[in-house]
Structure 1
Amino acid sequence: MTGNTVLITGATSGIGRGLAEAFHARGNRVIIAGRRQGRLDQISAEHPGMRGIVLDVRDADAIAALACRLATEEPDLNVLINNAGISRQEKLAPGEADLATTRDIIETNIMSVVNATAAFLPLIAGKPNAAVLTTSSGLAFVPRNNFPTYCASKAFLHSWIQSLRVQLEQAGVEVLELVPPYVQSELSGPAQLADPHAMPLDAFIAEVMSNLEAGNTPEGEILVERVKGHRYAERRGEYARHFDLFNPRSA
Structure 2
Amino acid sequence: MPFPYKTVLVVGATSGIGLALTERMLSEGVTKIIALGRRQDKLDDLQKKHGDSKVSTVKFDITNLEGIPKMIEGVLKPHPSLDCAFLNSGIQRSVDFTEPSSIDLDVISTEFTTNYLSYVHLIKALLPHLQNRVKGGENAGLIFTTSGLALVPIVRCGNYCASKAAMHQLILVMREQLRDVGQSESGNTAEEKTSGENKKSKGVQVIEIYPPAVQTELHDEKHQPDIKDGRNMGMRLDEFTEEAWRGLERGDEDIPVGTTWKGFGYEEVEMRRKKLFGEMMEKMKGN
Q: TM-score range by the shorter chain?
A: 0.7 to 0.9
SS state of the match for residue 261, structure 2? Answer: helix
Q: Which residue in 2 is equivalent to 1:35?
A: 38
SS state of the match for residue 13, structure 2? Answer: coil
In structure 2, the gaps of 5 or more residues are 184-202, 222-228, 271-287
Q: How far off is 1:2 after superposition?
A: 4.8
How big is each residue's C-alpha offset from its partner over 1:10-31, in whole Å with a ceiling of 9 and x where there is no partner?
1100001011111111221111
Does 2:20 align with 1:18? Answer: yes
How big is each residue's C-alpha offset from its partner over 1:6-51, in whole Å with a ceiling of 9 and x where there is no partner?
0011110000101111111122111110000000000111122111
Distance 1:88 1:3, change over 3 A: closer
Q: Which residue in 2 is equivalent to 1:245?
A: none
Q: Is the 8 A contact 1:168 1:174 kept in 2?
A: no
Q: Residues 179-194 of structure 1 correspond to what in structure 2 (within 5 A)?
A: 179-189=210-220, 191-194=229-232
How big is each residue's C-alpha offset from its partner over 1:86-130, in whole Å with a ceiling of 9 and x where there is no partner?
001111123332211110111100111001111111122232220
Distance 1:234 1:2, change over 3 A: closer
Q: Is the 8 A contact 2:91 2:218 kept in 1?
A: yes
Distance 1:105 1:70, change over 3 A: same
Could you tell me which of 7, 10, 24 is aligned with 1:8? 10
Q: Which contiguous aligned blocks of 4+ residues in structure 1 show a shift greater than 3 angstroms?
A: none
Aligned partner letter, 1:45: K
Q: Which residue in 2 is equivalent to 1:45?
A: 48
Q: Which residue in 2 is equivalent to 1:62?
A: 67
Quote the Cα distance in structure 1 between the aligned partners of 2:77 and 2:269: 46
Q: Is the 8 A contact 1:2 1:23 kept in 2?
A: no
Q: Is the 8 A contact 1:2 1:26 kept in 2?
A: no
Q: Which residue in 1 is equivalent to 2:121?
A: 115
How big is each residue's C-alpha offset from its partner over 1:34-87, in whole Å with a ceiling of 9 and x where there is no partner?
000000000111122111110100012322111111221100011011111100
Q: How far off is 1:225 after superposition?
A: 3.5
Does 2:154 align with 1:149? Answer: no
Aligned partner letter, 1:30: I
TM-score between both structures, scaled by the size of structure 1: 0.87
Q: Is the 8 A contact 1:86 1:188 kept in 2?
A: no
Identity %, equivalent residues: 35
Q: Is the 8 A contact 1:78 1:125 kept in 2?
A: no
Aligned partner letter, 1:138: G
Quote the Cα distance in structure 2 between the aligned partners of 1:224 and 1:110: 21
TM-score between both structures, scaled by the size of structure 2: 0.77
Quote the Cα distance in structure 2 between the aligned partners of 1:123 and 1:233: 34
Q: How far off is 1:3 after superposition?
A: 5.2
SS state of the match for residue 181, structure 1? Answer: coil
Q: Is the 8 A contact 1:184 1:201 kept in 2?
A: yes
Cα RMSD between the aligned structures? 1.6
Q: Which residue in 2 is equivalent to 1:100?
A: 106
Q: How many residues align?
A: 231
Q: Is the 8 A contact 1:140 1:151 kept in 2?
A: yes
Q: Which residue in 1 is equivalent to 2:269?
A: 235
How big is each residue's C-alpha offset from its partner over 1:223-243, in whole Å with a ceiling of 9 and x where there is no partner?
22321120327529xxxxxxx
SS state of the match for residue 146, structure 1? Answer: helix
Quote the Cα distance in structure 1 between the aligned partners of 2:152 and 2:267: 8
Aligned partner letter, 2:140: A
Does 2:227 align with 1:225? Answer: no
Q: Which residue in 1 is equivalent to 2:205?
A: 174
Could you tell me which of 46, 56, 73 is aligned with 2:78? 73
In structure 1, the gaps of 5 or more residues are 237-251
Aligned partner letter, 1:178: I
Q: Is the 8 A contact 1:138 1:179 kept in 2?
A: yes
